[in-house]
Amino acid sequence: MPASPATEANKRPTDGLQVVNMSSLSEYSIGVIRSSLRVTKRTPRARQGLVVAEHPIGAEVGAAILARGGNAVDAAVATAFAMTVVEPFMSTIAGGGTMLLSLAGPGEVVALDFNVCAPAACHERVYRLAPGRSEGALFTWHRVEDDQNLYGHRSVAVPGSVAGLTLALERYGSMDLGTVLAPAIRLAREGIVADWYLALTAAKFQEELSAFPEAARTYFRDGRWVYRPPGMEPGDRIRSPDLARSLELIARDGAGAFYKGPLGQALAAEMRAHGGFLTAEDLANYAVRVTPPLRGSYRGLELAVSPGATGGITALEILNILETFPRSGVGWRTAEGLHRRAQAVAQAFADRFQYLGDPERVRAPWDRLASKAYAREVAAGLARRRGRRPGPSPDCTTHVGVVDRARNMVALTHTAVSLFGARVVVPDTGILLNNGMIWFDPEPGRPNSIAPGKRALVNMTPLLAFRRGRPYLTLGAPGGRKIVSAVPQVLATLVDTGCSLQAAVEAPRLHDEGDGLLVDDRVGERCLAGLGRRGHRVTPLEESYSTIYFAKPVAIRSTAAGLEAGLDPLRPAAAAGA
């Protein structure tokens, strides 16, 4: 058999130099010093209000709304819509999301579930299975013929974004929809200058998006080339006139424009023309779920996390297990602390995969998994349990956190599901469609199997925390399933060490779903070796500007000295306020 091109490249001299597999040098590298990248962010404390978002423009939009007298919900909704313009690969108005909001006056905490759901035409055998496992799904589910559940028209689930965001504004905001949508409309119409983050992401997906003509026309310059960020010359300006017109319709007519009006009609027509499952009836029947949050605590700090088939219950289970150990025994600076974190994460994910699905369709031991008693049982006899193989976890989202003058708080996670969603853009609307069917297990008879109208098990893990009943923290992250492990680790680091919020967000993290431990290599060689001695199959990873190995948390903490931000240091996450 002929050697692969990669093998030949390793054998062939290039310009007189032998190409070397760097991993083969590891046996010679013990004791060798190396340079390392250390990046941080600093944010002055705010007094009046603060917004954190995954892009500076989004944070500035929210801060401007606060400055005009808007509350935290107004700012969060404005920012979420703006982020669909400035970070279009992460979220879309045809996506889904989860919002937690705390109203400081009445002391009310509410969860809004506006995640996507399966169209009525879908059922547990709607996809024909192919041999093998899917390497492009969020989990290594059984493969589907032609990867129809991963991208394209048959991967599109019923979107909830417009319904959820407009309902939140109507019930809990103080501004009208037109005012709140105005910044996003202006950004789409006038355009933004492509930064390295947008240009790099679009470049990475150039081949995939090129297979979908309308997506290529929307996201590429002249339909062929990706945009250039500023460098030696000014960067390209990205305008989204079709999306601007769609947002203007929503601003004028509300959610009805999307679910029953011209935008919904265009979406349904696109589905009919290309064999998608989604129909006009699915859009008209979509409903947001408004419920109390899931309550818990960590070392006396009161918590509210997203309920149901989200990451909330799994994050709470992780925290409950960690709480059974001393503060000094679960930190990231020692191999033993990392070992306990890994065990807690792996156990919680094993339970997640075994039991969880849409709570309106699936009977699961919800109360038990969230209980302190169960955590004590687990901690008393932690035995490693094998979970489903993690797979590449390509889904990504955006997250917004807001605290306003009255100390109302919002944690909002919003997504297109995978990067660039289904890769389908509805013609003449600029609306990118989600690929929410990727979240379902395509095999029948499982908790997360497909059913008409069912909501899938999602990774969103927005969290609010209170100290003696007073607003204290809003926290969340994008980053696929790594969100679910990142949020509790940030919180545990903050509470257990007493560090700054920025330090807690920046601290190294790990992820373990029961089939191998991924660890930020900043923990150091001694800890990595110690984890290996404790039986873990360790994969050290170096986080960089172009990776999202361990999610991208952002947070705000309310203190006597003011509002403190914690931001992912490697990507464009930013805070703005006054």
Residue 28 clears pLDDT 80, i.e. is over it? no
Give per-residue pLDDT as tens, 367-414. 999 999 999 999 998 754 444 444 544 557 999 999 999 999 999 999
Write down the H helix ranges in 87-160: none
Give per-residue pLDDT as tens, 475-525. 999 999 999 999 999 999 999 999 999 999 999 999 999 889 999 999 999
Give me the pLDDT at residue 527, please: 97
Residue 99 clears pLDDT 90, i.e. is over it? yes
Residue 547 clears pLDDT 90, i.e. is over it? no
Residue 231 clears pLDDT 90, i.e. is over it? no
In the chain, the amino acid numbered 501 is L
Burial 211-239 (b: 16+ CB within 10 A, else e): ebebbbbbbbeeeeebbbbeeeeebbebe
Decide the pairing of beta strands 294-298 and 129-133.
unpaired
137 pLDDT band, cuts 50/70/90, is low
Give me the pLDDT at residue 3, please: 39
Average pLDDT in the 130-142 region?
74
Q: What span, in angstroms and rounded, lies between the C-alpha atoms of 569 and 553?
A: 9
Residue 33 clears pLDDT 90, i.e. is over it? no
Are 412 and 99 a contacting pair, CB within 8 Å? yes
Q: How many Cβ atoms from other residues are within 10 Å of residue 407's Cβ?
A: 17
Question: Which two tokens mark 248?
Answer: 């203007």
pTM comes to 0.92
139 pLDDT band, cuts 50/70/90, is low
Average pLDDT in the 111-129 region?
97
Give me the pLDDT at residue 413, please: 98
Question: Which two tokens mark 513?
Answer: 């779903």
Average pLDDT in the 58-62 region?
98
* Closest C-alpha to 390, from 533, 532, 531, 537: 537
3-state helix, strand, coil in the chain (%, to 5): 35, 20, 40
Per-domain boundaries in the chain = 76-94+114-286+423-439, 291-393+460-571
Give me the pLDDT at residue 212, please: 94
In the chain, the amino acid numbered 469 is G
What is the dotted CATH code of the domain comprising 291-393+460-571? 1.10.246.130
The catalytic residue positions are: 397
